[in-house]
Amino acid sequence: MMVEGVEFRELMLQVVRTRMTFRRAMQQTLRKNKVGVTFEMLQVLSSLWHEQGISQQILAERIAKDKACLTNLMNNLEKKGYVCRKEDPNDRRNKLVFLTPEGEDFKEQIRPILNQVYISSERIIGIESIETMLAELKGVDDVLENI
């Protein structure tokens, strides 16, 4: 007897396992290069490199962390001098997050280190396979968004 949904469940488990493996590979690269940030800190910085001045709530959603975890990450990134929080002029209860000049400079320092992982993985997997997987995963994302 075939159980419906088993293949999709296995696909989602593989996506989660792949994310965990990616996290480990990046964490090893960060440690090996003595970068001084964790994978989670890098997620915050990466989000801010794409868009600054967002609320901590939006940032927490984008990196899939709860508020307490994000607050801890923000405190550590502030101590390193990479980010600052400012009061939202439209809602004083919210804090908006910005990169400092040091946070901007860090992006340029870390880019070659991160590219080691991306470029070597891309060479091994191949562009065509990556494009196919990306299109398929975008399709899965669209399905899940509309359920």
Q: Please give the residue range of the domain that contains residue 100.
A: 30-133
Looking up residue 72, the CATH number of its domain turns out to be 1.10.10.10
Number of domains in the chain: 1
Q: Quick check: is 4 in a domain?
A: no
Task: Tell me the three-class secondary structure of the chain, residue by residue.
Answer: CCCCCHHHHHHHHHHHHHHHHHHHHHHHHHHHCCCCCCHHHHHHHHHHHHCCCEEHHHHHHHCCCCHHHHHHHHHHHHHCCCEEEEEECCEEEEEEEEECHHHHHHHHHHHHHHHHHHHHHHHHHCHHHHHHHHHHHHHHHHHHHCC
Whether this model's pTM surpasses 0.75: yes
Q: What is the pLDDT of residues 89-143, one digit of tens each?
A: 888 888 899 999 999 999 999 999 999 999 999 999 999 999 999 999 999 999 9
Q: Quick check: is 147 in a domain?
A: no
Q: What is the pLDDT of residues 39-57, one digit of tens each?
A: 999 999 999 999 999 999 8
